[in-house]
Structure 1
Amino acid sequence: MFCCPGPPLPAALPLLLLLVASSAPGRPCGPAEPPETPRVSCYRRSHNKDVLCEWPLRVKPSPGTRAMLWVKQRFAAENATEQWCRYFSKARKFVCRVKVPPGADDTKPLVVSTCVNNGAGGSAGEDRIITLSSILKPDPPLNVTVEALEKAPQQLRVNWSYPSSWDPRFYWLRFQVRYRPEPAQTFTEVDQVMTTWLDIRDALRGTRHVVQVRAQEEFGHGVWSEWSRVAVGTPWTDPGDLTSEMGPFSSQFPVDDGAYGVTLPPELFGDRAAEGAGGAVVKASARSVASPYTFLVAGGSLLLGIALFVGIMVRYRQTWQTGRQRGAKPEGEGQHVLVPLSPPGPPLSETPLLSPSGPLAPRTLHVTNLDYFFSGQ
């Protein structure tokens, strides 16, 4: 363990302190308190960066406080590297920068020792054993944005970029994304993300989400970075849904081309309306707002209904005519129609049975009225 003792006090300094304490009543007398014991932690922002060791303080150190840090290889007899540490008042911590020589082995253990002293004494911290690979701690990702995906009401796309201290041409990072809807307090985490973007597929509709990203060395060496700044985003919402929700009286009144007279109670319009109307009933006309898709669907349904009605009527008419033709008997069915064999002749009373006498040829019979033989008389 290394320690740096404070400088010896001059012989006349106690008398001087006594005089100052007596001339300033109300100020506590006595020497300054010894410095706090350092509890150092070291990290490295990338493979090509120096090692930073720091420790916080509960109270501001007294003027003249000095801090030093030593680094050496474990189980090695060579001398340690000595570094002075600087105090940052805003962060209220000491920070020491350790140079890493090029080509240093990231797996060899190193011993880190610290010591702080002031006029009242000194204190040394416990030795820390580290390796260059185990103290890798990248900076948080930058430019985290959340955007909605069109026609995807339950999805969000998160984009980010590498920190400026990490060169992705030689070494990569893996990322972890966490998100939650604003009413909730529990985050959902997604691990092993090797790209600089991620699609969230289980977002809540119409709800703003909080998203953060952190990084670690691609093979898991070292520790995770701090979480990035908060980014927010809301999934895509159909503009038609917004119009129907925001339209006046869209869910209370039917859709029609004309205006409806709606009787509203006077208290909805406040005391001024009640006084101006003198207690009379106030009438308001509301015309419901509908999207063009509603009219297209209604028109298509109407045309389809008319076409079906015409088709049913034509089919019914054809069926009715066919049944009528089958039910009627053809003309003359069930009756015997007499068809004359020859045109009717004169009455028998007017036709002589025998032709007038005259010279006849021998053995020749002349019959002039053949209807006689076929009449059955």
Structure 2
Amino acid sequence: MEIWESWWDEQAGDRARCALQHGTLGTEVLLWCPAAGGGPAEWRRGDTVLGTYPAPGLALPNTTLAHEGHYSCHHPGTSETWATICLRLGYAPAPPAVECWAISYPQAVNCSWVLDPEPLLDTDFVATYRHGVGGPTDTGECVLTGPRSCSFGNVRMFSLTPHVVNVTAMNPLGTASRILPFLLENIIKPDPPENLRVSRIPGETKKLLLEWSPPGSWPFPEYFPLKYRIRYVQEEESSVTKMIGPYEQTSYTLTGARPGTLHHFQVAAFMDSGESSAWSLPASGMPWMEP
């Protein structure tokens, strides 16, 4: 598939105006010289003469990225320039692989997506959402928060009717969409806990105090309290990971710690619905040692 549009060739020293042509990698791309009038034309790539080719134009079989560049066609006798073409190669977008998480439940839903394979061409996205049949108050734009992410509010708690997100990818070679339905409570996934601290307790050679904060993106911890799991390893047994919890408080006193040994900790947050967060950044500590 080939797409044409007018474009200023920024790489050409004289900023020549050229026809921007897009083609699909791995296929044959035909560069067409409109002024040739059905006759032969001399083709060049940059300043290199490729030869004189009959109509309809210059065929590039099994294209690779090495074929990208600035081409021109000329009168085979006078070398008059008939057209300049800037060739860009890539792929039409595949349907985006979309995932959505309520990291700030119940205020908003955050979605992100990837394309496989990468189109290698500038690709734009439109993302929308709806709830149920999508009345005027339940339909809207998922506002882009990054090149391939968006966020929307106006969610319905405890609804048995799915929310639906539709992401459409568009580039010069094509358009593709993906629809993702979900129940809000099934996609709860907090961000990791923050500010994990490990402190020794004076006089306690086998105890450590852990303290942390709920994720800053979790808007109402007092109304929607999180639960926490803790995992840790001891420096001398780094291949053995121990897991404890769940706990509802944001602190925990570890007993039975090995005296004189460094311990490494991480904490994850979750609710009874949805999925657990990723693990927090690690923090380390060693129990109190007698002077």
Q: TM-score, normalised by structure 1?
A: 0.52
Name 1:172's counterpart in structure 2: 225
Greater share of helix: 1
Amino acid at match of 1:160: W
Task: Indicate yes or no: 2:101 matched with 1:43.
Answer: yes
Name 2:55's counterpart in structure 1: none
Query: Is the contact made by 2:5 and 2:19 (CA closer than 8 Å) also made in structure 1?
Result: no
Higher relative contact order (CA 8 A, sep 6+): 2
| Aligned residue pair count | 221
- 1:293-332 residue pairs with structure 2 within 5 A? none
TM-superposed CA distance for 1:192, in Å, is 1.8
1:23 to 33, 39, 46: 46
Task: Indicate yes or no: 2:278 matched with 1:235.
Answer: no
**Alpha-carbon deviations, 1:320-360, whole Å to 9, x = none?**
xxxxxxxxxxxxxxxxxxxxxxxxxxxxxxxxxxxxxxxxx
Query: Is the contact made by 2:93 and 2:115 (CA closer than 8 Å) also made in structure 1?
Result: no
Name 1:342's counterpart in structure 2: none
- Unaligned ranges ≥5, structure 2: 8-16, 22-30, 34-42, 49-65, 69-86
Q: Secondary structure at the match of 1:100?
A: coil
Moved more, 208-217 or 156-165: 156-165
TM-superposed CA distance for 1:163, in Å, is 2.0
Name 1:276's counterpart in structure 2: none
Q: Secondary structure at the match of 2:97?
A: coil
Query: Is the contact made by 1:155 and 1:202 (CA closer than 8 Å) also made in structure 2?
Result: yes
Aligned-pair identity in percent equals 26
- 1:1-377 residue pairs with structure 2 within 5 A? 9-10=4-5, 17=21, 18=31, 22-23=45-46, 26-28=66-68, 31-57=89-115, 62=120, 64-74=122-132, 76=133, 78=135, 80-83=139-142, 85=144, 87-88=146-147, 94-100=148-154, 104-108=156-160, 109-125=162-178, 127-166=179-218, 167-183=220-236, 184-217=238-271, 220-239=272-291
Q: Secondary structure at the match of 2:264?
A: strand
Q: For residues 56 and 182 of structure 1, do their structure 2 counterparts lie closer, same or farther at Cα, with a shift above 3 Å needed? A: farther
Q: Secondary structure at the match of 2:288?
A: coil
TM-superposed CA distance for 1:186, in Å, is 2.5
Q: Secondary structure at the match of 2:211?
A: strand
TM-superposed CA distance for 1:43, in Å, is 0.8
Rounded Cα–Cα distance in structure 2 between residues aligned with 1:21 and 1:119 = 25
Q: For residues 87 and 23 of structure 1, do their structure 2 counterparts lie closer, same or farther at Cα, with a shift above 3 Å needed? A: farther
Query: Is the contact made by 2:145 and 2:151 (CA closer than 8 Å) also made in structure 1?
Result: no
Q: Secondary structure at the match of 1:45?
A: strand
Greater share of strand: 2
Q: For residues 131 and 16 of structure 1, do their structure 2 counterparts lie closer, same or farther at Cα, with a shift above 3 Å needed? A: closer
- Unaligned ranges ≥5, structure 1: 1-7, 89-93, 240-377
Rounded Cα–Cα distance in structure 1 between residues aligned with 2:192 and 2:47 = 50
Q: For residues 156 and 72 of structure 1, do their structure 2 counterparts lie closer, same or farther at Cα, with a shift above 3 Å needed? A: same
Larger radius of gyration: 1
Q: TM-score, normalised by structure 2?
A: 0.66
